[in-house]
Amino acid sequence: MTSVPCDIPAIRAALLAWYDANARTLPWRTGPGEGGGQGATRDPYRIWLSEVMLQQTTVPHATPYFLSFLQRWPTVAALAAAPDAEVMAAWAGLGYYARARNLLACARAVAGDHGGVFPDTEAGLLALPGVGAYTAAAVAAIAFDRPANVVDGNVERVMARLFAVDTPLPAAKPELKRLAAGLVLDDRPGDWAQALMDLGATVCRPRTPLCDVCPLSDRCAAFAGGSPESYPRKTVKADRPRRFGTAFVLVDEGGRVALVRRPDKGLLGGMLGLPTSSWQGQPTEAVPPIAADWRAAGSIDHVFTHFALTLEVQTAAGQGDFVWTTPERALADLPTVFRKALSRVVGAGPRS
């Protein structure tokens, strides 16, 4: 670590003052200082929903989904009562479908076991199905002003820079968490968590930190060392493996598209999608879902967390025992990988 005096009260005062003046306006938030205190008025349902959506995606991408969920299911009880398929369809495009299933499991536990009221402690939240350490800490801090240590990738990056931690990720995670914990106090813990998130998202950005407008620049060891963007240090990662498969776009006489529901377990589990072959490490001959006059319609690439996928797309006219829907509906509701494949045949939707 580069040596910079670690003055915790000064760091906290500078960041909270910056937050008071610069907090992002977000639809799930109250402003700085609002709703503080134990049993605060901040809505834990909104905060929980937003935190689940925001894991691994950005605020601009998650916001329309958040607003749509809130409109359709304004309370945790309403969400708990929603059919699985509707929630999964509404989640399509956010990715990480296991989260949608966990979301429903959690909503049903809150509605069924807790009278529709979220537990107000980190431990109580952590005991809910599908709620991990990060979400429990975030909801405890932001909704209930508990002094929880809320550490996501943004906060790890700020800590790695502030303290110039040379250990590469992921080995540095425990150290970064400990450093973040040292800055959490009983005073304004919800605002503190959000201030760190906002700093990481808008100022201490991954590639180009805006150190000249950062409230912590005179306390930041990485800035003092001259190359803040080189933190957090990273272990060089191997490329994602690639898999190959075929997606089948079967269109009936009315122009509708055939869909199948995927098995509950596994990638995109429980979602509607195009019929596909299995996805293998090498391109292989695929068996179509029905005998028809199949023709090639190009290919698409898609990147999942653990692998990249190349899908050849084939299309044919035909009928059969499928879930049939209009192309417009499919392009609106299907997970992105299937929308890309469908767009090879019907012409609209994401391409890469």
For the annotated catalytic residues, the residue numbers are 51
Return phi, psi of residue 273, to 5°: -155, 175
216 binds ligand SF4 (CB under 6 A): yes
Q: Which two tokens stand for residue 345?
A: 């045949």
Q: At closest approach, how far in Å is the CB of 62 from ligand SF4? A: 23
Planar angle of CA 324, 352, 336, nearest 5 degrees: 35
Q: At closest approach, how far in Å is the CB of 190 from ligand SF4? A: 21
Segment interacting with ligand SF4, rule: CB under 6 A, options 7-15, 131-139, 155-163, 341-349: 155-163
Q: Which long-range contacts (CB under 8 A, 24 or more apart) does 293-301 make?
A: 293/317, 294/248, 297/249, 297/344, 297/345, 298/344, 299/344, 300/247, 300/337, 300/340, 300/341, 300/343, 300/344, 300/351, 300/352, 301/352
The packing angle between helices 97-113 and 84-91, to 10°, is: 140
Residue position matching structure tokens 């959490």: 184
214 binds ligand SF4 (CB under 6 A): yes
209 binds ligand SF4 (CB under 6 A): yes
Binding flags for ligand SF4, 160-179, as an x/- string (CB under 6 A): -xx-----------------
Residue 90 CB neighbour total at 10 angstroms: 18
257 binds ligand SF4 (CB under 6 A): no
Residues 124-153 interacting with ligand SF4 (rule: CB under 6 A): none
Please identify, using beta-carbon distances, which residue of 160 and 334 lies nearer to ligand SF4: 160
Q: At closest approach, how far in Å is the CB of 5 from ligand SF4? A: 14
- What's CA 139's distance to the chain center, in Å? 15
Residue position matching structure tokens 């090498």: 282
DSSP 201: H
Contact of 137 with 150, CB cutoff 8 Å: yes
Q: At closest approach, how far in Å is the CB of 221 from ligand SF4? A: 8
232 binds ligand SF4 (CB under 6 A): no
Contact of 153 with 231, CB cutoff 8 Å: no
Segment interacting with ligand SF4, rule: CB under 6 A, options 171-179, 220-228, 251-259, 340-348: 220-228
Segment interacting with ligand SF4, rule: CB under 6 A, options 52-60, 117-125, 206-214, 272-280: 206-214
What is the helix (H) or strand (E) element at residue 251, kind and residue range? strand 242-251
Q: At closest approach, how far in Å is the CB of 135 from ligand SF4? A: 25
Alpha helical stretches, state H, the chain: 8-22, 44-54, 59-72, 76-80, 84-91, 97-113, 122-126, 133-144, 153-162, 173-181, 189-202, 221-225, 327-333, 336-346
The count of chain residues that interact with ligand SF4, using the rule CB under 6 A, is 15
Q: At closest approach, how far in Å is the CB of 160 from ligand SF4? A: 9
Q: At closest approach, how far in Å is the CB of 200 from ligand SF4? A: 8
- Out of 19, 65, 192, 223, the only residue in the binding site for ligand SF4 (CB under 6 A) is 223
Segment interacting with ligand SF4, rule: CB under 6 A, options 94-102, 166-174, 209-217, 310-318: 209-217
Please identify, using beta-carbon distances, which residue of 125 and 180 lies nearer to ligand SF4: 180
The Cα–Cα gap between 26 and 49 comes to 13
Q: How many residues belong to the chain? A: 352
Please identify, using beta-carbon distances, which residue of 7 and 264 lies nearer to ligand SF4: 7
Please identify, using beta-carbon distances, which residue of 150 and 203 lies nearer to ligand SF4: 203
192 binds ligand SF4 (CB under 6 A): no
Segment interacting with ligand SF4, rule: CB under 6 A, options 4-12, 23-31, 222-230, 298-306: 222-230
> Is the bond preceding residue 232 a cis peptide, omega within 30 degrees?
yes
- Out of 158, 193, 309, 316, the only residue in the binding site for ligand SF4 (CB under 6 A) is 158
Q: What three-state secondary structure class fits 272?
A: strand
The footprint of ligand SF4 (CB under 6 A) covers 158, 161-162, 203-204, 209-211, 214, 216-217, 220, 222-223, 228
